[in-house]
Amino acid sequence: MASGFFALLDDIAALMDDVVVMSKITTKKTAGILGDDLAVNAEKATGFVSSRELPVLWAITKGSFLNKLIILPVAFLLSSVLPWAVTLILILGGVYLAYEGVEKIVEYFLPHKVEIEEVKASKLSEKDVLLLEKSKIKSAIFTDFILSIEIVIIALGTVLGKPILFQVLVVSIVAIIATIGVYGIVALIVRMDDIGYSLIKKSENGKGFLARIGNVLVKALPIIIKSLSVIGTIALILVAGGIFTHNIEVLHHFSETLESIPAFVKDAIAGILVGLIAVLMVKLFGFIFKSLKK
């Protein structure tokens, strides 16, 4: 009886070891989309009154956890009943990521002329400010929902064929790490300038070591957010290309024939090509829709 109990403990320990190892591998594979998730949320969490930044970020974080609670059961159900659907969603998600990445590049070189109506915060009532805040939170949570689907599906794609318990443990761990990690870093980023100003105030007449650190933090915030946006765009294309070259058989075999070319270059080419096609299709359908509407 005792030997059976200890054998069970050994099995559990072995399972958890495998789960930890696979969780590390899966987290690395989702690193690209996590980079974009971080860039998007850092951008959306800024622009609020200093005293409201952390409450707003906490509201978005709770929404992110709720998104995961909705997505995870559906993903596990599909994995058990229709495993091919996970791969299909993964590829479709890859198309979306490639479109988003290439569209950002196109937008950078060919920016749209958009009329922006500037509204001074001082002219808004407290009620209007709260409504605007709620609207931004909803937008951020919706964006998180789309990115969460990709994170969960990419994570699930690495453990397809494994027992369902193994899938649940690995993907759930990755989802929790993704949420805590991303929003923890975002919290540090959005408060960076406030920390900087605090250090400057504590220094003597705005001079000295503390003041220098404070000035660096204040000046670094916009640079970091812009850098994250660029890194996130590159990551989108590479992640999407990796999805295509690993899950579309024709591309996978073609990729294997090009042994002299580094894998990330092949992923980048695949991501850019599919993204360009997706952008052109969206533009074409948009043009047709506008023509029919007129």
Handedness of CA 4, 7, 8, 9 (dihedral sign): positive
Q: Can you list the residues of the chain whose pLDDT is less than 50? A: 1-2, 4-13, 15, 114-122
Give pLDDT, residue 6: 40
| Residue 204: φ, ψ to 5° | -85, 110
Handedness of CA 77, 83, 84, 90 (dihedral sign): positive
- Residues 38-69, buried b or exposed e (16+ Cβ, 10 A)? bbbbbbbbbebeeeebeebbebbbebbeebbe
Give pLDDT, residue 279: 93
Give pLDDT, residue 28: 60
Alpha carbons 203 and 195: distance in angstroms, whole number: 13
Give pLDDT, residue 112: 62
Alpha carbons 53 and 190: distance in angstroms, whole number: 7
The residue behind tokens 């923890």 is: 184
Query: DSSP alpha helices (H): ranges in 248-262?
Result: 249-257
CB 174 within 8 A of CB 30: yes
66's CB contacts (< 8 A; 6+ apart) are: 141
pTM (two decimals)? 0.69
Task: Give, in order, the Cα–Cα distances in Å from 206 to each of 3, 61, 218.
Answer: 69, 35, 13
Give pLDDT, residue 29: 59
Closest by alpha carbon to 278, among 240, 238, 228, 230?
A: 240
The residue behind tokens 């024939």 is: 257
Give pLDDT, residue 15: 45
